[in-house]
Amino acid sequence: MSLQATTSVPTTSIQLIDRRKKIINIKRLGTPLLVFASLGALLLFLYLRGEPDQIEAFALNWEYQIARVDEHIRLSLAAALLVAVLAIPLGIVVARTGSLWLKGLITGLANVGQATPAVGVIILLALILGIGWQTAIIALVLYGMLPVLRNTIAGLGQIDPFIIESAKGMGMTRNRILFRIELPLAVPVILAGFRTTLVFSVGVATIATFINAGGMGETIVVGLKLSRPAVLLTGAVVVSCIALMMDWLAGLAEDLLRPKGV
C-alpha cells in the first residue's frame, strides 16, 4: 500500500503536465504562426517601399510604435479585467436570486452599452467626464460588460440541480457550494464570455484615441488624415495581431483552467 501511495502522486502530476504541454504545443499553433507571418509580411512590405518620408519616419519608428502598442494592450487588459471584477459577482447575484425581473433589468442595462455604437459611448462619456485614459476605460467597461455577465448567469444556470441538492445533503454551505461546485463547473462558459470581452476591448480601444487615450488608433488616424497608406496598414495589421494574440492567450487560459472532465 505504501508503494502505491508513493507512486500515485507523481503519476497524477505527470498526467497534468502532459495535458498542459499537449494544449500548448499542439492545439493552438495556428494563431501565433499567422501573427508572425502577418508581421513579417508587413515588415517586408515596408522595407520594399524604400525610404520613408518625414511623416512615415515619425509614425513608423520603433519607439513610437512600441509606446502605442503598450498603451493599447494596457487599455484593453485593464478594461477586460474590470469587466470581470464587476460582471462575475453581479452575474452570481442574479443567478442566485433566480428573479426573472432582476435578470431582465440587469442584462437590459448591460445590453445598452453594447447596443450603442462604441464611438457614441466614448464621445458621450467624454462630454460628461472629460477626455483621457480613465474615460476610455469606463467606456470599454460599459461596452464589454454584457458577454461576461450573460455567460456567468448562463454558466451557473446550466448546472444540474441534483448536483446542488446532493451537495446540500452532504452538509455543504451555500458559499462552499458556490466556490467548490458551481463556479468550477461554470468556468468554461464564464471564460468564453471574458474572451469575447477581451477581443471587443482590443477592437474598440482603437477609437479611444479620439479622446486622447492613446493606443494604436493614433497610428490609424495619422494614416487616414495624412493619406499615408503604409502608416494606416501598419496600424490595422498590428491591432489585428494584438486581438489575435489576446484571443489565443485567453483560449489557452480557458483550456488550462477548465476542470477535468468538463
Domains of the chain, CATH where assigned? 2-257 (1.10.3720.10)
The HSE-up count of residue 216 (CA atoms within 13 Å, CB side) is: 26
The pLDDT of residue 261 is 58
Task: Return the C-alpha cell found at 85.
Answer: 471584477
pLDDT of residue 71: 92
Sign of CA dihedral 31, 70, 77, 113: negative
**Phi, psi (rounded to 5 degrees) for 30:** -65, -45
Using an 8 Å Cβ cutoff, are 77 and 249 in contact? no
Interatomic CA distance for residues 24 and 31, integer angstroms: 12
Which ranges of the chain have pLDDT less than 50? 1-10, 13
pLDDT value at position 21?
A: 53
Q: In residues, how long is the chain?
A: 262
* Res 88: pLDDT: 92
